[in-house]
Amino acid sequence: MTPKRRFQLVLIKPSHYGDDGYVIRWWRALIPSNSLAAVYGIAADCAERQVLGPDVAIDIETIDETNARIDVPALLCRFRLNDNFGLVGVVGVQSNQYPRALDIAAPFRKAGIAVAMGGFHVSGCLSMLDGRAVELDACREMGIAMFAGEAEGRLDIVLRDAAAGQLAPVYNFMKDLTGIEGTPVPFLPKRYVARTIGLNASFDAGRGCPYQCSFCTIINVQGRTSRYRSADDIEHLVRLNWAQGIHRFFITDDNFARNREWEAILDRLIRLREEAGIPLGLMIQVDTLCHKIPNFIDKAKRAGVSRVFIGLENVNPDNLAAAKKRQNKITEYRRMLLAWKAHGIITVAGYILGFPADTPDSIRRDIAIIQRELPLDIVEFFCLTPLPGSEDHQVLWKNGVAMEPDLNVYDVEHVCAAHANMSKAEWEAIYREAWSLYYTPEHMKTLMRRAAATGVPTGSLLKLLVSFATTVRLENVHPLQSGILRLKHPSERRPGLPRERIWIFWPRFVWETLYKHAVLAGMIARLYMLKISIARDPDARAYTDRALTPVGDDDDASLDLLTKTAGASAAIAHVRRVAELTSARSGERLPGVAPRLPLVRRQEPAPLKGSPAPSRIQ
């Protein structure tokens, strides 16, 4: 039947405002939004199933504001031509994107077009707060429908209500997190993926994490039980993407090591790579105990993992305990990192600044320890932030403690709450300093030499170093929010801030762009020369240093990591006690002073069949 009406579904993933008030947007952004891919996949399935009836077609368009400008007049015109029959879905709205999301929604609401909003801000607030905080009433006042929870199996309802002109003010499914096996998979047509760097797609193979870190919003939005896609689902989405030439993926599970289906999923990916010849390149996120799971790292490597993001967070056990991140054992860090290194996989660690025991000096000391003693490639710094939806935020909110009122800066790069040992200015200054302390020319050289010695592709590491060493300094945003060629437009300045005159705006924009790219070119040239000189060095494979030295019996006496940080001696004592108890129980001789730690030896990386080009996820 030829459809009589066409329902316009426009899915917009908002960006947010930078410190200068302009929307953060790039010619090519880092990676496509997985939230957008997830909702697009569900919406495409709704369209295919004709959920609005056989005589109504659903036209879907997606816009990711980090890589595309929203042409509001054109969209309004399109809705007008269809009698405003449709819905603007503002997708995956994080707390820092909430103010921008409201600004995007405003002209559509003014024109009488239905708008619904979902994502972590709405879900986190409805899960942890009173239903109104933080600023949720703005949606009610503007007539924006809030959607909390997951759209799988529920988008039908929203679309039908929108088509009937009867959107409810709130759709709250937070208490009903269902399985995701067999649900439509995240997917974006290639024309959207092509707006990002290096044709990477993404998917969440699972949701939920068993741990209880107090700064985390994920457990309060997606729950603590592992819910997962099946190996068949994963094969389906890989083949869908491969059919459009995409074979590199960011698996967005916050902790893929705790996905209960990890092994079946990796086995299937291994088959797709080794038997079907799909040259998969993957990045995953894991916890610091993943190396203890039998076969996990081996299979990850075979499946095509080339980068692993590890939630290291801190090297001070007192800080980790304060954040209820007790699963992070500093005594395991080296063993875990060396296990990834042994497979030639790039390690990327998240590191949070602003835990209770931190001071600017302790942060400087800890960064130096990491550089010297941990075989880590990339470190990403974040400011500890009471994100709405986290336990930390809930506690402060319930106790009426003052927090930063502007949600736009809840991006884990700004200071949003007070600290016992640091003023706001000191905390902000040490956050910026941390990047330059870690990414010194000397340390980048060490990282490249370690990479060459352990079989990590130096070309891939070089690209990451360029981005991580320069983005905060040049662009004043976190590398995770970055891209190629920052774009700005005078009309995209935050409402309330003055519109700049175009003869000031454009010359400054051109000058800034030239300056930034000159600095970038210099950095690329320096690192490239270094890469060549290492490649020509016959002894490059023999390089070693303290970080690459296998874990040994004397670590607890000789490493600053295990002697200098507060709480380290308690952590060592704990490990000894456990070792004593376990060996006493198993009748072994007690191991004297230190627990016997098995040596981790470096291995040659296994040759890869159809090895993928270096992925460019971050």
Q: Which residues bind ligand B12 (CB under 6 A)?
A: 15, 30-31, 33-35, 38-39, 66, 89, 91-92, 94-96, 116, 118-121, 123-124, 147, 150-152, 155, 158, 204, 217-218, 222, 252, 254, 387-389, 411-413, 478, 480-481
Q: Is 319 in the site for ligand SF4 (CB under 6 A)?
A: no
C-beta atoms surrounding 131 within 10 Å: 12
Query: What residues from 446 to 465 belong to the interface with ligand SF4 (CB under 6 A)?
Result: none
Least distance CB 219 / ligand SF4 (angstroms): 5
Least distance CB 210 / ligand SF4 (angstroms): 7
User: Which residues, other chains included, contact 134 with Cβ-Cβ below 8 Å and sequence gap of 6+?
Assistant: 95, 121, 125, 388, 397, 407
Least distance CB 326 / ligand SF4 (angstroms): 10
| Segment interacting with ligand SF4, rule: CB under 6 A, options 56-64, 175-183, 211-219, 579-587 | 211-219
- Residue 530 interacts, among ligand B12, ligand SF4, none and using kind-specific CB cut-offs from 5 to 8 Å, with none
Residue from the set 11, 37, 117, 219 that interacts with ligand SF4 by CB under 6 A:
219
- β-sheet bridge partners, residue 57: 6
Q: Measured in whole angstroms, how far is the alpha carbon of residue 24 from the centre of its chain?
A: 17
- β-sheet bridge partners, residue 145: 116
Nearer to ligand SF4, 127 or 470 (CB): 127
- Residue 287 interacts, among ligand SF4, ligand B12, none and using kind-specific CB cut-offs from 5 to 8 Å, with ligand SF4
Least distance CB 460 / ligand B12 (angstroms): 17
Asked if residue 513 lies in contact with residue 474, where contact means CB atoms within 8 angstroms, the answer is: no
Rounded distance between C-alpha atoms, residue 90 and residue 190, angstroms: 21
Asked if residue 262 lies in contact with residue 229, where contact means CB atoms within 8 angstroms, the answer is: no
- Residue 96 interacts, among ligand B12, ligand SF4, none and using kind-specific CB cut-offs from 5 to 8 Å, with ligand B12
Q: Is 391 in the site for ligand SF4 (CB under 6 A)?
A: no
Q: Is 311 in the site for ligand SF4 (CB under 6 A)?
A: yes
Least distance CB 207 / ligand SF4 (angstroms): 10
Least distance CB 204 / ligand SF4 (angstroms): 12
C-beta atoms surrounding 289 within 10 Å: 17
* Letter string b/e over residues 168-203, b meaning 16 or more CB atoms within 10 A of that residue's CB: eeebbbbeebeebeebbbbbbeeebbebbbbbbbbb
- Residue 389 interacts, among ligand SF4, ligand B12, none and using kind-specific CB cut-offs from 5 to 8 Å, with ligand B12
In terms of Cα–Cα distance, which of 598, 567, 596 is closest to 582?
Answer: 596
Rounded distance between C-alpha atoms, residue 170 and residue 147, angstroms: 6
Nearer to ligand B12, 8 or 33 (CB): 33
Least distance CB 69 / ligand SF4 (angstroms): 33
Rounded distance between C-alpha atoms, residue 253 and residue 261, angstroms: 12
Peptide bond between residue 409 and the one before it cis (omega within 30 degrees of 0): no
- Residue 255 interacts, among ligand B12, ligand SF4, none and using kind-specific CB cut-offs from 5 to 8 Å, with ligand SF4
Residue 348 tokens read as 């990327």
Q: What is the largest CA-CA distance in the chain?
A: 82
Phi, psi (rounded to 5 degrees) for 17: -90, 135
HSE of 1, CA atoms in CB hemisphere, 13 A:
9
What string of H, E and C letters represents the secondary structure of 425-483?
Answer: HHHHHHHHHHHHHHCCHHHHHHHHHHHHHHCCCHHHHHHHHHHHHHHHHHHCCCHHHCE
Least distance CB 396 / ligand SF4 (angstroms): 18
Question: Amino acid letter at 117?
Answer: M
User: Which residues, other chains included, contact 400 with Cβ-Cβ below 8 Å and sequence gap of 6+?
Assistant: none
Q: Is 422 in the site for ligand SF4 (CB under 6 A)?
A: no
- Residue 565 interacts, among ligand B12, ligand SF4, none and using kind-specific CB cut-offs from 5 to 8 Å, with none
Report which DSSP code applies to 572.
H
Report which DSSP code applies to 551.
P
In terms of Cα–Cα distance, which of 162, 186, 121 is closest to 10?
Answer: 162
- Residue 7 interacts, among ligand SF4, ligand B12, none and using kind-specific CB cut-offs from 5 to 8 Å, with none
Taking CB positions, which residue lies at the least distance from ligand B12? Answer: 118
Helices 424-438 and 360-373 sit at what angle, rounded to 10 degrees? 20
Least distance CB 32 / ligand B12 (angstroms): 8
- Residue 213 interacts, among ligand B12, ligand SF4, none and using kind-specific CB cut-offs from 5 to 8 Å, with ligand SF4
Nearer to ligand B12, 43 or 452 (CB): 43
Q: Is the dihedral of CA 335, 337, 342, 343 positive or negative?
A: positive
Rounded distance between C-alpha atoms, residue 24 and residue 476, angstroms: 10
- Residue 455 interacts, among ligand B12, ligand SF4, none and using kind-specific CB cut-offs from 5 to 8 Å, with none
Least distance CB 218 / ligand B12 (angstroms): 5
Q: Is 255 in the site for ligand SF4 (CB under 6 A)?
A: yes
- Residue 123 interacts, among ligand SF4, ligand B12, none and using kind-specific CB cut-offs from 5 to 8 Å, with ligand B12
Least distance CB 212 / ligand SF4 (angstroms): 6
Task: Please work out the total of residues on this chain that contact ligand SF4, with binding judged by CB under 6 A.
Answer: 10
Least distance CB 247 / ligand SF4 (angstroms): 27
Q: Is 254 in the site for ligand SF4 (CB under 6 A)?
A: yes
C-beta atoms surrounding 618 within 10 Å: 23
Residue from the set 52, 104, 213, 617 that interacts with ligand SF4 by CB under 6 A:
213
Least distance CB 73 / ligand B12 (angstroms): 22
Rounded distance between C-alpha atoms, residue 570 and residue 115, angstroms: 54
In terms of Cα–Cα distance, which of 317, 485, 450, 449 is closest to 375?
Answer: 450
Residue from the set 24, 126, 209, 444 that interacts with ligand SF4 by CB under 6 A:
209
Residue from the set 218, 409, 430, 464 that interacts with ligand SF4 by CB under 6 A:
218
| Segment interacting with ligand SF4, rule: CB under 6 A, options 89-97, 198-206, 210-218, 331-339 | 210-218
- Residue 319 interacts, among ligand SF4, ligand B12, none and using kind-specific CB cut-offs from 5 to 8 Å, with none
Nearer to ligand SF4, 65 or 287 (CB): 287
| H-run or E-run covering 104 | helix 98-110
For binding to ligand SF4 (CB under 6 A), which residues are involved? 209, 211, 213, 216, 218-219, 254-255, 287, 311
